[in-house]
Structure 1
Amino acid sequence: MPAIALTEPDAGSDAAAISTKASETDGGWLISGEKSSITFAGFADAAIVLVRTGGPGAAGISAFWVPLDTDGVTRSVYAGVGGEIIARGSIVFDDVFVPADHLLGEVDAGFAQAMTAFDFNRAVIALSCIGAAFESLDETVDYANTRHTFGKPLSSRQAITQQVAEHYAKLHAARSVAYDTLTLADQSAKHTTEAAMSKWMGPAWSVDAIHTALRLHGWSGYGSDLHFDQRLRDVIGLEIGDGTAEIMKAIIARDLFGVPTHR
């Protein structure tokens, strides 16, 4: 099981600002620095580690394959609101030696490799969230058909049904954008903008849908006997991973206007 180690305590959305470094030595490289908020940090066998091998900015970053049982590697798992199964945590490298053939691709070319992977994965994250939201809405439809108040099922009340209908429509639209992203990826076509759109809409609209499902179930939805609490906590975490909504909108605007709008 591999992890992807890019984020650092002082470099999250500004991924090109990483400071973990690799220095050449006899037969390989020595890696030093800390990676934070890494998915699978607690149990991954190895990590694709993005490090600085050259000057500042994206042009000086390389990628290495690092077995995590190597001397000098320590790691810890964070306590968090959700996402317990992914064992998110930190990985610290203290002069960790990796052989020269563990370099992935060319020296100083790792950032472009990582961003290509992020574009694809953003659509996958969106679909993961959307799946959890659709499941929550399906359960709410069943509940509204069987739960009676004041002598009538909840599904007879427009105030209930229109909320669910709106969420279904928005999730369908977000899913279509994610599928468009993956279609473009299959065609080796540029899909950065579409990926950003799906990563923004999918998690955000899924959070809203799951929250509505929880609320429409009343106190039973608020309890842990059902799954809304876990879904809500986990999907909120996926609003952050691989780029926040603010970063996604900046990417979309950059491609529309042709300027780095986040500055």
Structure 2
Amino acid sequence: FADQADAFVVFARTGQPGSGARGISAFFVMADSAGLTRTRLNCIGSKLVGRGSLFFDDVFVPEANRLGQENAGFVQVMQGFDYSRALIGLQCIGAAQASLDEAWQYTQDRQAFGAPIAQYQGVTFPLAEADTILTAARQLCFHTLALRDAGLAHTAEAAMCKWFAPKSAVDIIHQCLLTHGHYGWTMDTPHQQRLRDVMGLEIGDGTAQIMKLIIARERVGRAAVAHARPKEGSSKEGSA
């Protein structure tokens, strides 16, 4: 809602240049603040969200508008990622499930050579694979949320949800579009909109590459981060 919102939560650096993520604070900024301008991006999907850009030209934000502790803004938002990533996974799964249900029905309704196309394994096998993958992705998201409810660590599982579910949803919706033939390749079916919407969710809250890095870091620690400093006394080259 970049071009419609009355206020924004803005994350800005308040710490030293080398403070990294621990030098970011969150602020509540009114949209009509002097010097603030905004634009709306012409995205190919999720158009109702209204993504856009904010531009600041000597905008004054009082200290009273800071949300939470100074330099703790990024840490605060990161604490919610493990929850939102599982929800994004389920959001993508919902879109894919709708297309899959429609595709299964279409295989029964569409006639070819006097019989439903559901009789052809070349038609049903890709949908069977999609059904299997979608069920697995859904259970992964449920498992992640169950870990959260139990107060257990779920950072790696949340990252799995965020890369696996959107990618699977894109592939499945694409297959469902193909199942509908040329009719699926029209603006008259919802597959094209779902495909565009879900593709955007492959980016938001972290790309697949970042998610895989998080999973690796959770499994093997900082060794998975290429730029991590070696501990004192250790060698970058490793032991001979």
Find the aligned partners of 2:223 and 2:76 in 1 and give their Cα distance: 20
* 1:98 pairs with 2:55: no
**How far 1:143 moved relative to its partner?**
0.6
Deviates more, 1:248-257 or 1:61-70: 61-70
Deviates more, 1:127-136 or 1:170-179: 170-179
Query: Equivalent residue for 1:135?
Result: 98
* 1:212 pairs with 2:178: no
Find the aligned partners of 2:178 and 2:53 in 1 and give their Cα distance: 35
More strand by share: 1
Deviates more, 1:186-195 or 1:80-89: 186-195
Equivalent of 2:139 in 170, 173, 176: 176
State the TM-score, normalizing by the size of structure 1.
0.81
* 1:225 pairs with 2:178: no
**How far 1:260 moved relative to its partner?**
5.2
| Greater RCO structure (CA 8 Å; 6+ sep) | 2
Query: Equivalent residue for 1:164?
Result: 127
Query: Equivalent residue for 2:5?
Result: 44
**How far 1:104 moved relative to its partner?**
1.2
Matches within 5 A, 1:20-99: 40-55=1-16, 56=18, 57-99=20-62
Stretches of structure 1 lacking an aligned partner (at least 5 in a row): 1-39
Query: Equivalent residue for 1:4?
Result: none
**How far 1:187 moved relative to its partner?**
3.8
**How far 1:54 moved relative to its partner?**
0.4
Stretches of structure 2 lacking an aligned partner (at least 5 in a row): 227-240
State the TM-score, normalizing by the size of structure 2.
0.89
The verdict on how the C-alpha distance between 1:121 and 1:54 changes in structure 2, with shifts beyond 3 A counting, is same
CA RMSD, 1 decimal: 1.4
Percent of aligned pairs sharing the same letter = 50
Q: Secondary structure at the match of 1:71?
A: coil
